[in-house]
Amino acid sequence: MIKLLIVDDSALMRRVMGQLFQEAGGYVVEFARDGVEALAKLHAFRPDVVTLDVQMPRMDGLRCLDRIMVERPCAVLMVSSLTADGADATLEALQLGAFDFVPKPDRTVSLALDELAPVLLDKVRAAAASRVPRSHRLAERLRARRAALPAFAPAPPPVIADHPTRPGDLAGAVIIGTSTGGPPALEAVLTALPGSFPWPVLVAQHMPAAFTASLARRLDTICALRVVEVAGPTPLHPGNVYVARGDADMTVSRRAAGPIVLPAPASPAHRWHPSVDRLVASAMAQLPPARLVGVLMTGMGNDGAASMAALRIAGGRTIAEAEETAVVWGMPGELVRMGGAEQVAPLDAIAARLMALAPV
């Protein structure tokens, strides 16, 4: 049985969510009206998972989350509105150690939860099965440890066969795919790359459209690299990070001057968006595979595993995040199981591996 604590100041939300999990079976459910009540129940009930509203009286979700992660860390799923303020608060919650988030209904609660029910159930089950996220203050810990990372010899120059050089071709490009637990993992990797990193970095992070602009802005303020959300056709340049817009896909295409990235409507052929598989496939169609490095990090499901396995077969390089650091070892674990991971590395070693493959 999964012990679930639902924290929300709305009696209707508590009732509807409680009914959802009680009907699903396999849950023992308790409720709290705000952060103060949640903390009072934290030690007595000892929940496996907490669903935590962001906006509440007396003690809001962020303050409550910070206390939970200090007093008795457990998997916390934030319930957040799809607004600019909600996006900023959600990203802050993920930095504090929240497992993941779900959007808060902005219309009739019972109807909206009917649509959200499969996602909510999946995420709570995954949260219950996960280890406590290691993302709290992760970037600071990684910066302190960076000097102790093992050195890796630079890879030999790739051999490009049957793929002629075209205008604007890049020396290389990195494609990163991630989902649950991704924002702190992205921060850890990208802040460890210098501004002189010679390749562009393309990022597909499963997120709603309201959140990816905030994610790109936050990363841009803390990274030496320039980070942008891709809102239209955008040329690829070294030392830039390109974040796919949420609820859509990002693809690599080509103009006369060279390769570009551009947003595309979410493909019904792919379950998760922005789709890692679609991004990798489009990059392989426009750039020599041997000049591409695919990195698959924490996340539920298997998005990116098939395309990155194909990339490795075609001569590209691939890195899967190791199980011991992934919040959820779904996506990278599937790449490993398919034999598509050339390297398996803990999160704090991925930036070093990228710098070895693309010497600055």
Q: Which CATH superfamily is domain 138-357 in?
A: Methylesterase CheB, C-terminal domain (3.40.50.180)
State the catalytic residue, choosing from 179, 275, 282, 307.
179
Q: How far apart are CA 205 and CA 196, in angstroms?
A: 24
Question: Within 13 A of 298's CA, how many CA atoms are on the CB side?
Answer: 27
Among 214, 235, 215, 217, which Cα is nearest to 226's? 217
pLDDT score recorded for residue 141: 42
pLDDT score recorded for residue 39: 96
Q: How far apart are CA 205 and CA 213, in angstroms?
A: 12
- Spatial contact of 313 and 289, defined as CB atoms under 8 Å apart: no
pLDDT score recorded for residue 115: 77
- Tokens in use for 278? 């679609």
- Tokens in use for 155? 């890879």
Mark whether 273 is an active-site residue: no
pLDDT score recorded for residue 163: 46
Q: How many CB atoms lie within 10 A of CB 341?
A: 24
Mark whether 237 is an active-site residue: no
pLDDT score recorded for residue 29: 97
pLDDT score recorded for residue 130: 85
Between the alpha carbon of residue 3 and those of residues 6, 7, 96, 130, the distances in Å are: 10, 13, 22, 14
- Spatial contact of 101 and 183, defined as CB atoms under 8 Å apart: no
Mark whether 43 is an active-site residue: no
Q: How far apart are CA 240 and CA 200, in angstroms?
A: 5
State the catalytic residue, choosing from 100, 277, 303, 348.
303
Residue ranges, CATH 3.40.50.180, the chain: 138-357
In eight-state DSSP terms, residue 299 is: B
pLDDT score recorded for residue 154: 39
Element (H, E) at 309: helix 305-313
pLDDT score recorded for residue 47: 97
Give the residue ranges of DSSP H helices in 130-244: 138-145, 182-190, 209-222
Between the alpha carbon of residue 227 and those of residues 90, 223, 230, 244, 261, the distances in Å are: 19, 8, 10, 11, 14
Three-class SS string for 93-162? HHHHCCCEEEECCCCCHHHHHHHHHHHHHHHHHHHHHCCCCCCCCHHHHHHHHHHHCCCCCCCCCCCCCC
Query: b/e for 215-240, b at 16 or more Cβ within 10 A?
Result: bbbbbbeebebebbbbeeebebebbb
Residues of the chain short of pLDDT 70, as ranges, are 82, 106-112, 132-168, 360
pLDDT score recorded for residue 20: 93
pLDDT score recorded for residue 156: 41
Note the CATH architecture for domain 2-129.
Answer: 3-Layer(aba) Sandwich (3.40)
- φ, ψ at 232 (rounded to 5°): -165, 180
Q: How far apart are CA 360 and CA 357, in angstroms?
A: 9
Residue ranges, CATH 3.40.50.2300, the chain: 2-129
State the catalytic residue, choosing from 34, 135, 136, 206.
206
